[in-house]
């Protein structure tokens, strides 16, 4: 029974591959996530059903919400958040090959996501225009596959973002070496 608490048994129970005394055990965690930079991995992912002509729908996969606009044959994809208010693209209307943000009336090109005309031209939009710099929409490549729409998404985006903040299991960046403080 006392053999369970011997120095040799203690070294093996901690996960050491060789016999170690407590004074020589490493203080580094057994599991680390410091394997280098995580590479981008763009993959075509089914995001939603095919929208009807003139319809705007959205789908959510890999922590990315993508809005798909069908203008009667052409599909356009956007991150489902319109600047400057953050309204969903699904609330927008389509006019003259542009998406119109419902609160500020800003027009964005369907092809490029860039502002067309004046940024925040109408109503309460003028106030937003004074407070927020001009911003374009983020576009996403989409394609039709059967009756579904696929979006080209970086499936490693969440891990890449979290890599900046997490070093290991339940360990915030800098807590081990004091860099956080």
Lowest mean pLDDT among 24-28, 110-114, 148-152: 24-28
pLDDT reading at 18 higher than 80: no
**Rounded CA separation 175/161 (Å):** 18
- 30 located within any domain: no
The domain spanning residue 136 has which CATH number?
Answer: 2.102.10.10
Of the ranges 33-37, 120-124, 134-138, which is most confident?
134-138
Query: Residue 130 has what pLDDT?
Result: 82
Q: What's the pLDDT at 164? A: 74
Residue at 115 is within a domain = yes
Look at residue 119 and tell me if it is in a domain. Answer: yes
CA-wise closest residue to 62 among 81, 40, 89, 92: 40
Percent of the chain with pLDDT over 90: 48
Mean pLDDT along residues 103-110: 93
Give me the number of domains the chain comprises. 1
What is the per-residue pLDDT across 82-102, written as a single tens digit (0 to 9) for each?
998 899 999 999 998 999 999
Answer yes or no: is 1 within a domain.
no
Tell me how far CA of residue 47 lies from CA of 59, 76, 117, 161, 165, in angstroms: 5, 13, 31, 22, 28
Q: Is 118 part of any domain?
A: yes
Higher model confidence: residue 176 or residue 71? 71
Q: Could you tell me if residue 5 is inside a domain?
A: no
Q: For residues 7-28, give the mean pLDDT.
A: 43
Cα angle for residues 84, 86, 92 (degrees, 5° grid): 95
- pTM strictly above 0.95: no
**pLDDT score recorded for residue 160:** 85
Domain of residue 155 covers 42-159
Q: How confident is the model at residue 9 (pLDDT cuts 50, 70, 90)?
A: very low
80 Cβ neighbours under 8 A, 6+ residues apart: 58, 65, 66, 67, 88, 89, 90
Question: Contacts from 96-104 at CB under 8 Å and sequence distance 24+?
Answer: 97/71, 99/69, 99/137, 101/125, 103/128, 104/128, 104/129
């Amino acid at each position: 029974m006392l053999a369970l608490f011997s120095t040799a048994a203690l070294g093996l129970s901690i996960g050491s591959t060789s016999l170690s005394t407590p004074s020589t055990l490493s203080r580094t965690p057994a599991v680390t996530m410091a394997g280098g930079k995580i590479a981008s991995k763009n993959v075509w992912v089914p995001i939603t059903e095919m929208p009807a002509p003139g319809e705007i729908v959205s789908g959510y996969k890999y922590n990315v919400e993508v809005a798909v606009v069908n203008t009667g044959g052409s599909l356009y994809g956007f991150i489902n958040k319109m600047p400057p208010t953050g309204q969903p693209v699904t609330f927008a209307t389509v006019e003259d090959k542009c998406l119109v943000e419902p609160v500020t009336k800003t027009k964005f090109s369907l092809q490029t996501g860039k502002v067309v005309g004046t940024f925040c031209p109408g109503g309460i939009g003028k106030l937003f225009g004074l407070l927020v710099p001009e911003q374009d929409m983020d576009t996403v490549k989409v394609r039709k596959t059967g009756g579904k729409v696929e979006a080209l998404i970086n499936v490693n985006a969440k891990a890449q973002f979290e890599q900046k903040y997490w070093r290991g299991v339940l360990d915030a960046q800098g807590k081990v070496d004091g860099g956080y403080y």
